[in-house]
């Protein structure tokens, strides 16, 4: 018989929040989770209205995530996992509360507001027996996973150089000054942490580079800019990266690139070939073996590997998108939770981003902010 | 409080069937349906195993859809709607059984195996008070709906000429001779009806053309080919179409176009401008106003209309795909069912394909088959 | 030492004519020709002004091509070849005059105004010892030649189905009614012949299909439309084609497809693979071997054959365009002329379109016009 | 009557040299130049063979450019302009010789081997009355010129950020070690100067950025890499750029990016919109006004400005390529020469790159090399 769904809670993601709804759809797609509790807002009335709208029992609608963690952990039918989808500054206390309660955590990036919190969370996670998954959505795309596999299996040879660009335009104008809620917290250091654009999307770009290339950063030099008057956090970041082993990379993240919607593009080159992938056309992966014609590999298509093929819900030519990539993170999380429940082993698939990615992301932000502050000097990632 | 989910049954779609799983995901995405019963196979053991794997109660796992229709209609908590996802020849008897039982029907295309059945179903549907939705998936894409809206609002002027191509390659070789289940029934007149490629994908192309253009076909001339030896149904179809009002179109459907995955492309031109859309890149719509630069309109982007924008689950640049398009049909169906439950009115949104599309599709197949049989002569669609 | 340039004359192509200037640039690119005489207009003043502007000696500026043919053939330094770039109705008498004078002819398409003229020209060319080249420009693109070679060498297997589309928009509005010279003669049966769009661009599409596929047409069914009020020649043509051997094709030519500039696209599929080429991106050729990933072959790049590589003037990644394709026809013509001058053999490279292509093109127009006139019935190409 | 062609000489560009042939075609396309003299090689036999093959009079075939400059300047029919297409280290002495002889110079980039030479040449050019044109080919593309015009006219608003990438793959392997002539001198500091990839293609990228944006560089930070063992010059360069006025840019040039042919791409963003152009598809220019749909502007098409339209030789949809762009530099040079001959004024069109671009390019190389040598530190361009 089919396994019962995993009981899921959510912190943040009340009415008007974009990412909460995305998490809920993603959790439903493969039918492995059931949302049964939530602290969807810290304002009790909003929390209640949002919870009822989602069909939650009133008794399991909270406005305080500490209370939620405690009460849910005491229920026989308490939540087994929680999705944390608040602004960044609440990630740490919320994750701490649930990890301490032995509840698995699925958390948005950047993992915390500071590197110190990230390191504290890492320690905490080692003390408690609960999984921690960081929703770097783009790692859920089958062709991203295939790219990672192709690099690892040597199809590009020794990596030499890479470029990752993540450009958007939604902060081209001072949206935060006219009451836009998303813009408001993302440009506010108190809620976002020390990084603006670099935290919001730069970390995605950085993690994607690490995820596909398998390379570790030795040092970086980051030019942090604020193009919109009155903004205190960066809205454009250009970074030179030196990787251990000698490879070189650049990363550009911008939220003021007029005409760019959610353009996350990566190119990698080794001594045997190259790869290129674009988030806005995620079902395709260009492979350019040196000396041979360029190949357009497609999700589920003739050039798809067994690994990427197994990720697909629908055949080649039937595009999968962002929600399916997100759903794959939930599906993999469900597998890890069930594995834990059967064996007691706390282990994520290597394909699933976890707490180390979170610490690495915070280290990246921290170094970039320090580099930028000092005029774009080289800073070691230690 | 949130509305309870609509109770859904399924006929067909057991283990190994592709489209059943697609329907189930689509039904889940917007959380409006709950699968509670099924005749997932006509073989009792397979029906049982498939049903249990999906978590159905054993009492509501059937192997005979007639029984299912009767028993479910008698239960207080019986299904409110049923998805019919069998091979084509069973669409008619299954749809009939559920319509007669007053259960709303969501049915795969082509609607029936013959035009006669289609017309019978139309009559039947007028006698019984139940909704009938035909899952022409591609109408669920926001940019397809925007294209339809742009044509209707006159942005192309008077339509003159259109081309729709739907090319795949999966029947390039005689797959049906080596036991492939999908290929087997699709190339078998007893299970597919008189049309092969034209029924399987030609109807999608035809419906897409009608849906976007709003044009009605006056007559057609169809060249029906069987390129693979031993095949009795067409695997390639080329059609000239004369539309009422003077517009002209061509339709090409092929399942032997090597290298094509699921390439459904449409181009339309009026005296003021043109549109172009490709299913494999569904978040984009090219608009070419005569005398101005080409515009790349994107789902949720700057050129999106309010209508298409309202269809989106995630922002511009976060691709939605095939499953989201499918889910939109389920979401719209849920709205129509709830509207019926509140008002007693049997009415589909104009955006949702229904029984008339099904009859029109069968008329198209019927005429094309007759045209092709007689050497590609002109046949009126009357 | 370098060979002296071939002495070239031109008929038509005076001031304001587009295609004359194109021929002159094309003739210059590989430095094999020198323009020394011309009947650039039938109006003496215009002929003189145009000739002087091009630096011709006044004595070799003519307004009557019969006179030019006679006088040039009598000069010791007379022209060795002539380019005929007039409106269609003058192709035949001009070509006749020069062939009879033993001067090689480079002629624009369609070759003549009627099929009868074409057949007469064929006969004439067999009586006189002079080369006849028809400037189907698109055959000069290296990747078109590579496509032809790949088909001939069996990389697609047995051809099954093809589609060629040639869409433009410049006749979307009745330009001919407001004095546009190009539009005026192209929509006038007295100067264009019985075909409008089909003669102007349909013949290019048809020849490209024949050139790449090597297939001969058995019969066709052509829907000829005139969408702009007051127009007597077709401005949109849709054709079903049955090829000898069983392959099937469609051809669509339109000059009312708003937003299309010069969009000539072709797709071919055999039982082993497919090819796709687009004139607006001529340095690329998609090759889709059945069961393998799609390959993007590029001019001069890793997947280029020796043949196409030899056609290139600049390396891969440095785009060649329309003028280079045109120049390749002139270069090949120069080779054939020099070969003739050395050996007396009248022979074109198989890569160079000649009088048979011209006759075939006129046969295509003739059949299509007859088919269309009778309501789009099937007509054999005899 | 037509103007007589300008008498052109050439230094370098003998048999097997790629760029010499390109210059000669470019000079022919618009029929403004006639090649009449050359020092095509410094080896007398090769110089003679190459010159004869091009049809030069034996008396005007030289192996010493100093002799050529002297003798040609003394002839009544001596050359009016010279194209210098040697390896970099000879640009300076050759240019000096001809400028001193009062002969106009058309010179390949990078202008000289060192910044000191560049500055010396600048001084020299001010003392002598002769034009100096630097063949930054990509500035000859109509859509590049339109991009420049659109920026200048404020369509992007205030520029904020730009990215220019120029990636090739032809030095992925140590080609210079197996006798490849092009690779050999380009990786040799004695013939290339202090920059490898940065001199060969980095200068093109840098000039393109300056040309379109109109921005001047304040300082840069350059990571210079040598990925192929045994190579002494850079084969990959990543640069952060700070522009006067606050804009920020990155530049990446690589000759080890497997699968890249000649991929020069640029993106620019201001507070009102963005532009994007790719050399491999040069007839297109993306314009993304903030808040509006993306527009695909095409050469000669509906969105082309009068300026770019005037640059075209063939209509929209008939692709122009690299040779046409190059030819436009020659055409503009011819205009400047004729203007000088009529008025005595030494002046280039603002659209034509000249000696200041050359000095700026050498300054860029010099700073980048110094920055890279010191570990990628910031260096002012002063």
- To the nearest whole Å, the CA of B162 is away from the closest chain D CA by 21
Do the chains contact at C280 and D317, CB–CB below 8 Å?
A: yes
pLDDT tens-digit readout, B56-92:
999 999 999 999 999 999 999 999 999 999 999 999 9
For C197, residues 6+ apart whose C-beta sits below 8 A from its C-beta are C171, C233, C234, C235, C236, C237, C253, C254, C255
Residue C225's alpha-carbon distances to B160, B342, C197, C228, in angstroms, are: 10, 51, 10, 9
SS (H, E, C) D187-199: CCHHHHCCCCHHH
What tokens appear for B340 in the block?
A: 């019926």
Question: For chain C, what is the radius of gyration of the CA atoms?
Answer: 20
Give yes or no for residue D329 having a pLDDT over 80.
Answer: yes
Distance CA B234, CA B224 (A): 6
By mean pLDDT, which of A270-274, B125-129, B261-265 is the weakest?
B125-129
pLDDT (mean) for D238-243:
98
What structural domains and CATH numbers belong to chain B? 6-138+326-353 (3.40.50.720), 141-314+362-380 (3.30.360.10)
pLDDT at D15: 82
Could you tell me the pLDDT band of residue C236, with boundaries at 50, 70 and 90?
very high
* Whether A163 contacts D252, CB under 8 Å: yes
Q: What is the DSSP pairing of strand C104-107 with strand C132-134? A: parallel
What is the DSSP secondary structure assignment for residue B354, as one 8-state letter?
Answer: B
For A92, residues 6+ apart whose C-beta sits below 8 A from its C-beta are A111, A112, A113, A117, A118, A120, A121
Q: What are the phi and psi torsion angles at B161 (to 5°)?
A: -150, 145
Give yes or no for residue B2 having a pLDDT over 80.
Answer: no
Instruction: Considering only the beta carbons, identify the residue of B172, B250, B252 that sits closest to C271.
Output: B172
What is the DSSP secondary structure assignment for residue A61, as one 8-state letter?
Answer: B
Do the chains contact at A297 and C293, CB–CB below 8 Å?
A: yes
The crossing angle, in degrees rounded to 10, of helices B115-127 and B91-100 is 10
Give yes or no for residue D247 having a pLDDT over 80.
Answer: yes
- CB contacts, 8 Å: D167 with chain C: none
Burial class of residue C252, CB neighbours in 10 A (0-12, 13-18, 19+)? buried
Do the chains contact at B319 and A282, CB–CB below 8 Å?
A: yes
Do the chains contact at A315 and B53, CB–CB below 8 Å?
A: no
Distance CA A294, CA C126 (A): 47
Distance CA D4, CA D2 (A): 6
Helix, strand, coil percentages for chain B (3-state, nearest 5): 40, 25, 35
Do the chains contact at D298 and B293, CB–CB below 8 Å?
A: yes
Chain A residues bordering chain C (beta-carbon distance below 8 Å): 287, 291-298, 301-303
For C121, residues 6+ apart whose C-beta sits below 8 A from its C-beta are C92, C95, C96, C99, C111, C112, C132, C355, C358, C359
Residue C246: which region, alpha, beta or left (left: phi > 0; alpha: psi -120 to 50)? left
Give yes or no for residue D2 having a pLDDT over 70.
Answer: no
Do the chains contact at B302 and D292, CB–CB below 8 Å?
A: yes
Do the chains contact at D258 and A271, CB–CB below 8 Å?
A: yes
Instruction: Considering only the beta carbons, identify the residue of C160, C286, C375 that sits closest to B236.
Output: C160
- Partner residues linked to C254 by β-bridges: C167, C236
pLDDT tens-digit readout, C149-186:
999 999 999 999 999 999 999 999 999 999 888 889 88
- The size of the B-D interface in CB pairs under 8 A is 34
Do the chains contact at A54 and B2, CB–CB below 8 Å?
A: yes
The crossing angle, in degrees rounded to 10, of helices A355-373 and A203-213 is 120
Do the chains contact at B293 and D292, CB–CB below 8 Å?
A: no
Place of tokens 């509005």: C173
- Neighbouring C-alpha atoms within 13 Å toward the C-beta of A284: 16
Top pLDDT among A16 and A161 is at: A161
Question: For chain B, what is the radius of gyration of the CA atoms?
Answer: 20
What tokens appear for D225 in the block?
A: 């890499």
SS (H, E, C) B80-131: CEEEECCCHHHHHHHHHHHHHCCCEEEECCCCCCCHHHHHHHHHHHHHCCCC
Give yes or no for residue A354 having a pLDDT over 50.
Answer: yes
CA A322 to chain centre: 12
The residue among C282, C321, C328, C330 with the most chain D CBs within 10 A of its CB, best to mutate, is C321
Of B225, B246, B221, which Cα lies nearest the Cα of B236?
Answer: B225
Do the chains contact at A161 and D254, CB–CB below 8 Å?
A: yes
* Whether D159 contacts D249, CB under 8 Å: no
pLDDT tens-digit readout, C299-346:
999 999 999 999 999 999 999 999 999 999 999 999 999 999 999 999
Give yes or no for residue D8 having a pLDDT over 50.
Answer: yes
What tokens appear for A354 in the block?
A: 């976890």
- CB contacts, 8 Å: C267 with chain B: 257
Instruction: Considering only the beta carbons, identify the residue of D223, D240, D272 that sits closest to A248.
Output: D223
Distance CA C258, CA C268 (A): 25
pLDDT at A40: 97
Distance CA B360, CA C152 (A): 42
- CB contacts, 8 Å: D53 with chain C: 1-2
Sheet with D104-107: list strands edge to edge.
Answer: D33-39, D6-11, D81-84, D104-107, D132-134
Do the chains contact at D290 and A259, CB–CB below 8 Å?
A: yes
Burial class of residue A174, CB neighbours in 10 A (0-12, 13-18, 19+)? middle
Chains that touch A (3 or more CB pairs under 8 A): B, C, D
Of D307, D299, D298, D286, which Cα lies nearest the Cα of D351?
Answer: D307
- Partner residues linked to C380 by β-bridges: C219
* Whether A11 contacts A83, CB under 8 Å: yes
- To the nearest whole Å, the CA of A210 is away from the closest chain C CA by 26
Mean pLDDT, all residues of chain D: 96
Residues in chain D: 382
- CB contacts, 8 Å: B316 with chain D: none
Share of chain C above pLDDT 70, in %: 99
- The size of the B-C interface in CB pairs under 8 A is 127
Chains that touch D (3 or more CB pairs under 8 A): A, B, C
Longest dimension (CA), chain B: 65
Could you tell me the pLDDT band of residue A1, with boundaries at 50, 70 and 90?
very low
| H helical segments located in C214-315 | 306-310
Residue B301's alpha-carbon distances to A184, D269, D277, in angstroms, are: 21, 18, 21
What is the SS3 assignment for B370?
A: helix
What is the DSSP secondary structure assignment for residue C61, as one 8-state letter?
Answer: B
- To the nearest whole Å, the CA of A288 is away from the closest chain C CA by 10
What tokens appear for B97 in the block?
A: 């059984």
What tokens appear for D253 in the block?
A: 């040039």
* Whether B100 contacts B124, CB under 8 Å: yes
Give yes or no for residue C1 having a pLDDT over 70.
Answer: no
* Residue in chain A nearest B298 by alpha carbon: A261
- To the nearest whole Å, the CA of B272 is away from the closest chain C CA by 7
Instruction: Considering only the beta carbons, identify the residue of D55, D263, D324 that sits closest to C321.
Output: D324
- Neighbouring C-alpha atoms within 13 Å toward the C-beta of D323: 30
Do the chains contact at D272 and A258, CB–CB below 8 Å?
A: yes
pLDDT (mean) for C281-285:
98
Distance CA D9, CA D28 (A): 13
pLDDT at C249: 98
User: Using omega within 30 degrees of 0 as the cis cutoff, is the peptide bond preceding B368 cis?
Assistant: no
Instruction: Considering only the beta carbons, identify the residue of B169, B173, B288 that sits closest to C258.
Output: B288
Of D320, D325, D284, which Cα lies nearest the Cα of D302?
Answer: D284
Do the chains contact at A250 and D252, CB–CB below 8 Å?
A: yes
What is the DSSP secondary structure assignment for residue D231, as one 8-state letter?
Answer: -
By mean pLDDT, which of A6-20, B149-163, B204-218, C315-329 is the weakest?
A6-20
Instruction: Considering only the beta carbons, identify the residue of A287, A294, A302 that sits closest to C292.
Output: A302
Chains that touch B (3 or more CB pairs under 8 A): A, C, D
Do the chains contact at D319 and C280, CB–CB below 8 Å?
A: yes
What tokens appear for B95 in the block?
A: 């749809």
Distance CA A125, CA A97 (A): 11
Could you tell me the pLDDT band of residue B1, with boundaries at 50, 70 and 90?
very low
The residue among A146, A150, A273, A293 with the most chain C CBs within 10 A of its CB, best to mutate, is A293
Instruction: Considering only the beta carbons, identify the residue of B250, B270, B294 that sits closest to C238.
Output: B250
Burial class of residue B58, CB neighbours in 10 A (0-12, 13-18, 19+)? exposed
- CB contacts, 8 Å: C224 with chain B: none
Top pLDDT among D15 and C345 is at: C345
Distance CA A324, CA B319 (A): 10
- To the nearest whole Å, the CA of A302 is away from the closest chain C CA by 5
pLDDT tens-digit readout, D159-205:
999 999 999 999 999 999 988 888 888 899 898 888 999 999 999 99
pLDDT (mean) for D260-271:
98
Q: Rounded to a whole number, what is the distance in angstroms from the first to the last CA of chain B? A: 49
Whole-complex ipTM: 0.96
Could you tell me the pLDDT band of residue C192, with boundaries at 50, 70 and 90?
confident
Distance CA B189, CA B197 (A): 11
Residue D115's alpha-carbon distances to A45, A104, A299, D98, D110, in angstroms, are: 70, 62, 51, 20, 10
Share of chain A above pLDDT 70, in %: 99
Mean pLDDT, all residues of chain B: 96
- CB contacts, 8 Å: C312 with chain D: none
The residue among C264, C314, C320 with the most chain D CBs within 10 A of its CB, best to mutate, is C314
* Whether D201 contacts D257, CB under 8 Å: no
Do the chains contact at D271 and A258, CB–CB below 8 Å?
A: yes
DSSP-assigned states of every residue in A302-358: TT--HHHHHT-SS-TTS---HHHHHHHHHHHHHHHHHHHHHH------TTS-BHHHH
Of A358, A357, A348, A328, which Cα lies nearest the Cα of A138?
Answer: A328
Do the chains contact at D271 and A375, CB–CB below 8 Å?
A: no
Chain B residues bordering chain A (beta-carbon distance below 8 Å): 1-2, 18, 21-22, 24-25, 28-31, 52-55, 168, 260-263, 279-283, 298, 300-301, 313-324
Instruction: Considering only the beta carbons, identify the residue of B173, B258, B376 that sits closest to C270.
Output: B258
Of B301, B322, B282, B345, which Cα lies nearest the Cα of B131?
Answer: B345
Residue C155's alpha-carbon distances to C147, C273, C287, C295, in angstroms, are: 10, 7, 9, 13
What is the DSSP secondary structure assignment for residue A291, as one 8-state letter?
Answer: T
Do the chains contact at A258 and D286, CB–CB below 8 Å?
A: no
Could you tell me the pLDDT band of residue A2, with boundaries at 50, 70 and 90?
low
What is the SS3 assignment for C126?
A: helix
DSSP-assigned states of every residue in D220-280: EEEEEE--STT--S-SEEEEEEEETTS-EEEEEEES--TT-SSEEEEEEEESSEEEEEETT
pLDDT (mean) for A105-123:
96
pLDDT (mean) for C112-137:
95
Could you tell me the pLDDT band of residue C2, with boundaries at 50, 70 and 90?
low
pLDDT at D1: 43
pLDDT at D147: 98
């Amino acid at each position: 018989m089919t396994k019962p769904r995993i009981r899921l809670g959510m912190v943040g993601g009340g009415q008007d929040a974009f990412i909460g709804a995305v998490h809920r759809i993603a959790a439903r797609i493969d039918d492995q989770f059931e949302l049964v509790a939530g602290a969807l807002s810290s304002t009790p009335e909003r929390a209640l209205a949002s919870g009822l709208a989602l069909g939650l029992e009133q008794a399991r609608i909270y406005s305080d995530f500490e209370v939620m963690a405690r009460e849910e952990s005491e229920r026989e039918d308490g939540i087994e996992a929680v999705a944390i989808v608040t602004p960044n500054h609440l990630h740490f206390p919320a994750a701490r509360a649930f990890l301490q309660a032995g509840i698995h955590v699925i958390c948005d990036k950047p993992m915390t507001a500071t590197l110190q919190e990230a390191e504290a969370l890492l320690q905490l996670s080692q003390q408690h027996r609960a999984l921690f998954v960081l929703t770097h959505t783009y790692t859920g795309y089958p062709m991203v996973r295939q790219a990672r596999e192709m690099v690892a299996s040597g199809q590009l040879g020794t990596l030499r150089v890479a470029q990752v660009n993540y450009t958007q335009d939604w902060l081209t104008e001072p949206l935060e000054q006219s009451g836009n809620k998303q813009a408001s917290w993302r440009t506010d250091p108190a809620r976002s942490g020390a990084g603006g654009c670099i935290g919001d999307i730069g970390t995605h770009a950085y993690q994607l580079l690490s995820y596909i290339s398998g390379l570790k950063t030795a040092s970086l030099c980051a030019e942090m800019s604020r193009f919109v008057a009155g903004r205190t956090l960066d809205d454009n970041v250009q970074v030179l990266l030196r990787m251990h082993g000698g490879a070189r990379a650049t990363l550009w993240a911008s939220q003021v690139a007029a005409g760019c919607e959610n353009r996350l593009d990566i190119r990698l080159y080794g001594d045997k070939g190259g790869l290129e992938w674009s988030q806005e056309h995620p079902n395709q992966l260009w492979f350019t073996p040196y000396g041979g014609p360029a190949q357009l590999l497609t999700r589920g298509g003739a050039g798809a590997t067994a690994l990427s093929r197994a990720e697909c819900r629908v055949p080649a030519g039937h595009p999968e998108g962002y929600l399916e990539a997100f759903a794959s993170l939930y599906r993999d999380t469900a597998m890890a939770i069930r594995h834990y429940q059967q064996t007691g082993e706390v282990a994520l698939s290597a394909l699933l981003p976890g707490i180390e990615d979170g610490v690495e992301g915070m280290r990246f932000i921290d170094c970039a902010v320090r580099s930028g502050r000092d005029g774009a000097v080289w800073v070691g990632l230690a």
